[in-house]
Amino acid sequence: MKNNKRRYENLLLSFQQLVENPDTYETDIHKFIKTNKTFWFFGLEYIDLESKVKFPPQTKEFEFDLMLKRYDNYFDLVELKGPNTRLFSSVTTHRKKPLQKLSEALSQVFTYMHACEKDTTLKNLLKPKAIVIIGKEQSDDSRERRIMSSFLSNVEIITYSDLIQRGKKLFEYIDTL
């Protein structure tokens, strides 16, 4: 990766520009990640990705946005939502509630994870972690998201801003080598 650092940095910059564009939709994000194979945005444990995967194999009832292949050959699931989506609304000064798109995304990944538990035909899809990517820093309440995530088992909620920060941290690490 160190030899191609400039190319990867340019990919991350292009991704950031895409995320910051108010006219960007989930489909634009999905196309970018798929076309550029930017699985490394998600962390060093990932070595590849598959896109628009039909599941279960026999009925193809569901379609995963992305499946991230881990170094141990197991897969994790990614559910993409729009980068311009707000996550929470204020109910009171002490409490916020998740907005519809976030609730829908969580419901979707819970259904997917349950389907993965029931169908054991894919041996490398065992107890997958699910990552919901939605919104960005400006549309988020990181404290609320952290509280909510702490009660979810095997589900991580991150924003596109978080994903970009992960990429930047990776380059900071590479610079120390």
Q: Report domain extents, the chain.
A: 2-176
Note the pLDDT of residue 92: 65
pTM for the whole structure: 0.90
Euclidean distance between CA atoms 20 and 87, whole angstroms: 16
Mapping DSSP to helix (H, G, I), strand (E, B) and coil, where does residue 136 land?
coil
Given a contact cutoff of 8 angstroms between Cβ atoms, the answer to whether 35 and 56 are in contact is no
Euclidean distance between CA atoms 12 and 50, whole angstroms: 19
**Residue type for position 153:** S
Euclidean distance between CA atoms 119 and 117, whole angstroms: 6
Strands 155-158 and 130-133: parallel
3-state helix, strand, coil in the chain (%, to 5): 45, 20, 30
**E strand or H helix that includes residue 69:** strand 62-70
Domain 2-176 in CATH 3.40.1350: yes
pLDDT in tens, 10-58: 999 999 999 999 999 999 999 999 999 999 999 989 999 999 999 988 8
pLDDT in tens, 146-172: 888 888 989 999 999 999 999 999 888
